[in-house]
Structure 1
Amino acid sequence: MRQDGTKPLSPARLARQVIPCIDVRGGVATGPSGAGGLRDPLDVVGIAAGYARDGAEQLFLDVVDAWSDSGYLPDLLHDVKATGLDLLVSVQHGTLPSPKACTQVLSAGADALSVSTSMVTEPERVAETASLLGARRLMGVVNCSGDRQQGWHALVDGGATPTAVDVLEVARRFGNLHVRALLANSVDREGTGSGYDLDLTRAVAHASKLPVIASGGAGSAEQLADALRGGDATHVLVNNVVHSGKETIGSLSEALCRCLGDGVG
């Protein structure tokens, strides 16, 4: 786990390393949240506010709509930003349209715009956008399939379309641009609760030299601890485990503190 060695572990500190994700379509969550106290389980702002109260510092909004169908996004981002969370936003599976469209999303409240598909299919466009907007306003995402023995290949279109492109080559592209961070997502493990692919997070961290967010497979605090301690991850992404109501950011961070304090991982 990457620690600065000066501050003791605490649930509040660890909560800031846990990044919840909300999948969005048409301005609402794609599935109802099981978190308690919500007047509307599809309300993105209400769900986000709960994560913020529990100590989360960042939120990943995965907007599955096409750019042409996301006209609601500026108003939604304005409202979600009021929760105090830093917003990492993906639109249309991490594609980049015109710099004008990207600027509108950033101006509306996004702290960073996620790039995934475009780095595989149009790396020159990504480099141009990074030059125009600033690389820190972009966050990389590599959706991956495979394993350490066979290697990992990039998937595009939100993981729906396989390619023959080596994930570590894509990671190096992001590293050369010095984007904000790189999310390493194992599509094979999504929704399984079986834990992150730590070989993947380590390999991506080494190839990119960027802060890495582990993603795909989160099911327990022990697995989060594994990624932060032994997977070279700086942050961990959680989706279904908190969206379902099984855990909260607070319960995960408290258990995570115990795991790391006891040497689990």
Structure 2
Amino acid sequence: MRHDTTTGMSPARRVIPCIDVREGVATSPSGIPGLADPLDVAGIAAGYAQDGAGQLFLDVVDPWPEAGYLSDLLRELKKTGLDLLVSVQHGVLPPAETCTEVLSAGADALSVSTSMVRQPDRVAEAVRLLGAARLLGVVNCSGDRQQGWHTLVDGGATRTALDALEVARRFGDLRVRALLANNVDREGTGIGYDLDLTRAASRASRLPVVASGGAGSAEQLADALRDGDATHVLVNKVVHSGRETVGSLSQAMGRCLSAGRD
């Protein structure tokens, strides 16, 4: 049985906000009130940190050769005190030298998804050289419990025949930091996470699981933690839009979790 490291953790620390980045700025303006620049990644991140978040998922959509700004951005983001989980080029893992540079600049872990399908030997080598705790496994998939979940790569653009739970098992064998389970069918919908997926991914990998895809309310976040075997929940549009804050979601989520224990 996997060890649950979230015991006693405040609700806010279990919420991981995500910022999508292109050319060093957010891919769309944030609706968070009071920002001097709604595209400024560091400004957005600082607000999340002030609300109590402990980690930030930075989803850099640029390919590695066009992400030369990343080290400077990470050094700026590190000032927020957030642990930085960094995905570049849809989870492509660069050569070890580049990995070391990014980690030295402030990344706490590099996200791996596409490379686990196309370059599994590179991922295993990175675990050996960098340590398993410096890698975050990501399974992007489409489907449901009845039909099964098919792994997607290239940010969801390419469908593979590989079962998502098999990829989860491979990450589990490497004992990476955690596994982010994302059903792309739910991204941006606000209908809630695929709890069948998070439960199945947790069992298959025996890793801490981050629920992703579909967050729209505090109740859905609580459901993932209470009923979906998730240890953390990823949020993006719901907070980037300004409709909710990490703080408001966390407080309401905490109430939901407390009510569920009564």
- TM-score using structure 2 length: 0.96
Secondary structure of 1:154's partner?
strand
Unaligned 5+ runs, structure 2:
none
Whole-angstrom distance in 1 between the partners of 2:4 and 2:150: 30
Partner SS for 1:203: helix
Shift of 1:31: 0.3
Partner of residue 133, structure 1: 130
From 9, 16, 21, the equivalent of 1:19 is: 16
Deviation (angstroms), 1:59: 0.1
Q: Which residue of 2 aligns with 1:151?
A: 148
Amino acid aligned to 2:175: H
Deviation at 1:183, TM superposition (A): 0.2
1:263 correspondence with 2:256:
no
CA–CA distance in 2 between the matches of 1:81 and 1:61?
Answer: 12
> How far is 1:160 from its partner?
1.1
The percent identity for this pair of structures is 76
CA distance in 1, matches of 2:4, 2:166: 27
Aligned equivalent of 1:95: 92
Aligned match of 1:229: 226
Asked if structure 1 preserves the Cα contact closer than 8 Å seen for 2:191 and 2:216, the reply is yes
Looking at structure 2, the residues matched to 191 and 60 of structure 1 have their Cα atoms a distance apart, in angstroms, of 16
- Which letter does structure 1 place at the counterpart of 2:101? Q
Matched residue, 2:29: 32
RMSD: 1.4
Quote the Cα distance in structure 2 between the aligned partners of 1:260 and 1:3.
Answer: 16
TM-score (norm 1): 0.95
Name the SS of the counterpart of 1:141 in structure 2. strand
Between the aligned partners of 2:212 and 2:85, the Cα distance in structure 1 is 14
- The secondary structure found in structure 1 opposite 2:125 is helix
1:3, distance to aligned residue in structure 2 (A): 6.9
| Structure 1 residue aligned with 2:187 | 190
Question: Structure 1: any 5+ residue segments left out of the alignment?
Answer: none
Match of 2:217 in 1: 220
The alpha carbon displacement at 1:262 in A equals 1.3
Question: Partners in 1 of 2:5 and 2:106 — Cα distance?
Answer: 29
1:232-262 deviation line (CA, Å, top 9, x unaligned): 0000000000000000000001100111111
1:5 deviates by 9.8
Equivalent residue letter for 1:245: G
What's the CA shift for 1:201? 0.2
- Match of 1:246, SS? coil
